Amino acid sequence: MTVLILTGEEDVTADMVVVHLNAASVPVVRLDPADLTAGVALSGEYVHGSFRGHLSAGGRLVSVSGLRSVWVRRPGAPAARAAQPSAWLTEEAGQALYGMLRGSAARWMNHPDAARRARHKPWQLRLAQRCGLPVPATIVTTFPQAAREFAARFPDLVVKPVSGAHPQEPPRAVPTSRVAPDTDFAAVAYGPTLLQRRVAKRADIRLTVVGEALLAARKETPADADPDEVDVRFASAATPWLPTEVPPRVAAGVRAYLRTAELAYGAFDFAEDADGTWWFLECNQSGQFGFVEVETGLPVARTIAAWLARPAPREPGCADDRHLAAP
């Protein structure tokens, strides 16, 4: 049974995982959907009620039924590097590749549907609340008056994008910033704005979860830190990331979160306050882990490799009247 890794050619983070899979003699096929139909080929046949599918990449042929897991790392847009790329070819190639893989029994890290859903920050906040994780008071609004009332109740606020990275090439992370006390919120009417109570933090937490395994890193906030520096991605490197323990209630909360979200992998960001409470900021289903592993020595790559190497479950069936209630 083979592990399929969908990613670009230059992906040192994927390389870190492949090393462990190779060491365990687990067969790996790595391909970039962008190389369809130049270098990567596919074929699937639906005859007499059954399906036989194959992928070919780098001269290797693998059967779809022989896949134990699919790691959706950093795949390119399907057929983006074809001889004559087009939106139509990308659509056709994407439907063919993912349509075929979606019918397989392989385990996904992460499944495309779960990944897509998990990117919605309002949905993340609600799910975190339901799973018992403390969430700083937050509003997402296009009503200037609602923003003003929220700012009156919670005067110390940060603003951040609802959706994450700005859709430009290459994508640019939009930093979380502090809201000035005299802010007028009239511009809120022109685009949804996410305002959140600023957590006076004594540390940032990056909790990487792989299946049931929790790998937590903590970066202390220097005592002389500028309170306007709220975004750890742009913070100084004065203090290192160090491994840390996960409080049991947080452990139960994040496991329940990932289970409900149907994610096999998630990188949680928390802000730790003076009381030691971990405040949920977000869960990035494709969050980088290379820097965590390099700085802390936490075995993220090995844990991912072990998850991917597990055997596939039996092929999914069709919902049966006797087992499922009507929708």
Burial of 97 (0-12, 13-18, 19+ CB in 10 A): buried
Of residues 78 and 292, the one with the C-beta less far from a second copy: 78
Least distance to a second copy, CB of residue 102, Å: 5
Of residues 165 and 238, the one with the C-beta less far from a second copy: 165
Nearest to 263 by CA among 133, 72, 93, 90: 72
How big is the chain, counted in residues?
327
> Residue holding tokens 């920050």?
121
Of residues 212 and 226, the one with the C-beta less far from a second copy: 212
Nearest to 96 by CA among 40, 37, 42, 31: 42
Least distance to a second copy, CB of residue 213, Å: 11
In the chain, DSSP assigns E strands to 2-7, 28-31, 40-47, 50-57, 60-63, 67-74, 107-109, 138-141, 157-160, 177-178, 193-197, 201-210, 213-220, 241-244, 265-273, 278-284
The letter for the amino acid at 199 is V
Of residues 42 and 205, the one with the C-beta less far from a second copy: 42
Least distance to a second copy, CB of residue 56, Å: 8
Least distance to a second copy, CB of residue 239, Å: 30
Least distance to a second copy, CB of residue 219, Å: 25
Of residues 114 and 242, the one with the C-beta less far from a second copy: 114
Of residues 37 and 277, the one with the C-beta less far from a second copy: 37
Q: Measure Cα distances from 224 to 89, 179, 273 in Å.
A: 54, 20, 16
Spatial contact of 204 and 218, defined as CB atoms under 8 Å apart: yes
Least distance to a second copy, CB of residue 221, Å: 24
Spatial contact of 203 and 278, defined as CB atoms under 8 Å apart: no
